[in-house]
Amino acid sequence: MSTFDAAYTFAHQGIVPGYLLAHLARSERYPHAAQAARQTLIAGRPAFHAALELSIDENGDLVAEVAAAPTRTIFDAQNTETLPGLIVRTEDDEPVADDTVNEAFEGLGATFQMLLDAFERDSLDGAGAPLNATVHYGEDYDNAFWDGSRMVFGDGDGEVFVGFTRSVSVIGHELGHGVIQSTAGLVYRDQSGALNESIADVLGALTEQHLLGQTADQASWLIGEGIFTDAVQGRALRSMLEPGTAYDDDELGKDPQPAHMRDYVQTVEDNGGVHINSGIPNRAFALAATAIGGHAWQGAGLAWYRALTGDLSSTADFTEFAEKTIAAASGIGSTVESAVRDAWIAVGVIEDARDRNPR
């Protein structure tokens, strides 16, 4: 194991996997990005708000309703690694001149709105927790991460990665870790850690789809689309529908995610493969959502959310989570239940009972 491989053996909930940064750290084609990746690997990671809505009822009377709304604060680290940084935009401020600040602000809002509209969840903790984010973290920092209390965005190196605020799925993913932290608290290692990463991907994808009003069939199912420069042979960091196909670049290597349990990667790196093996439950979700059709947050998304917020154990493996999602889907409808069950069978997590009991 190299120095750069070893640097990412601790629990790190960044959107860019350590194995990808380790590849980049050795790059000769991208010297600036290689230096940025080395710096990123070494650096590691270090009240209720309401909206008043006014309307006129059928009698012509003014009606005031209080609805949940986000409390957002954006900080600027000014290219240092000191958190949180200086406050540069708060909830009631107008957009500022810095696009990165505004992108972060809008991405936090999009995630908040998806959680509220889809699951009636008021912020990450369900109780209106404020949403904080720090931008311009470090110099050429090639990642974005959830540090347990806030989102942190690097600017990228400009050679391989561009600014991470450009991807709503990245923002939704990292805030998704906050939802997981306040619910099942999935241990960030092995299969429970891969579920942690996968569920964060689900929430990131749903945030993007909800913002764009997309159905499951219209969605790209890509996580981190747009954060690579044109120099990279790749579409995104991950493909939920087609794990293992997001990128294939001479310097970065090939997307290593498996799509089926027969290809499950046994490794001590990446906290037991949390970023790698998350491809298996990712594909299960995308298959279920596209089979159900319509908006993914209304069918498969609701089943996944109910499983996460139910009695799921913090060390759940893929099989336990599959069983919980199937049970949750049964309360939504037979079509949803069938699609969820078939999806888990398709990726090899559970067996098809029909194969064990032939007629």
Indicate which residues carry an active-site annotation.
Answer: 174, 275
In degrees and rounded to multiples of 5, residue 354 shows phi and psi of: -70, -30
Smallest CA-to-CA distance from 11 within 257, 267, 190 is with: 190
Contact 98, 162 (CB under 8 A): no
Q: Is the peptide bond before 84 cis (omega within 30 degrees of 0)?
A: yes
Collect all residues with Cβ–Cβ distance below 8 Å to 51 and sequence separation of at least 6.
66, 67, 68, 69
Please return the burial class of 55, using the count of CB atoms within 10 Å of its CB with bins 0-12, 13-18 and 19+: exposed
DSSP 98: -
Q: CA angle, corner 33, sides to 30 and 34, nearest 5?
A: 80
Selection from 17, 9, 14, 7 nearest residue 39 by Cα: 7
What is the C-alpha to C-alpha distance for residues 1 and 86, in angstroms, rounded to an integer?
Answer: 38
Q: Among residues 2, 204, 8, 247, which one has the least CA distance to residue 108? A: 204
Nearest to 6 by CA among 19, 264, 16: 19
344: three-class secondary structure by DSSP: helix
Q: Which among 319, 275, 328, 276 is positioned nearest to 300, based on CA atoms? A: 328
Rg, C-alpha atoms of the chain? 20
Measure the CA–CA gap between 281 and 285, rounded to whole angstroms: 6
